[in-house]
Copies of this chain bind each other. A is one copy, B any other.
Amino acid sequence: MKIGEFARQLGVSTDTLRYYEKHGLLTPSSRSEVGYRFYSDADYKQMSFILRAKNVGFSLSEIKELLQIKFHKNQHSCHEVKAMTLQKRDLVAARIAELTRFYDSLSLLADKCCGGEEPAENCSILTTLEDIDGLTQ
């Protein structure tokens, strides 16, 4: 399958596929005589793996690591894979915590503001940000 059809079937752009190839995530299994990329069923499976891993939150470099493990399964342990997964989960959790603080602060701010059409002279959002904060910690 040439790159265009392959991209269409997977719902990604051809640029993305060339990008992934350049970054060692998916090298098409063959090329035509004039250099056209040809993708096989195995390539389809690998790309699906990549997309699923992306869907659960792994970054491309993490996915590359996972692929290395997948290619040399006997040289890596379950422990290693689970550790990566848990570490990623913890990172995600930390980011969620930070964003939740943002969310709470923004809610507090919004609640204080009347939201009317009058000039923002005494807008409590602005004054709260100006004054000593009743926001942080």
Contacts and interface: CB of A to CB of B under 8 A. Distances in A.
Contacts of A103: 57, 89, 92-93, 96
Nearest to A55: B136
B56 A135 contact: yes
Main SS at interface, chain A: helix
Interface size class of A (residues with CB under 8 A): 35 or more
Given A73-B121, A89-B106, A129-B53, A113 B78 contact: yes
A117 B66 contact: no
B57 A105 contact: yes
A16 interface: no
A12 interface: no
B125 A49 contact: no
A49 B130 contact: yes
Given A77-B117, A85-B106, 6 more contacts: A52-B136, A55-B105, A56-B129, A73-B123, A74-B120, A96-B100
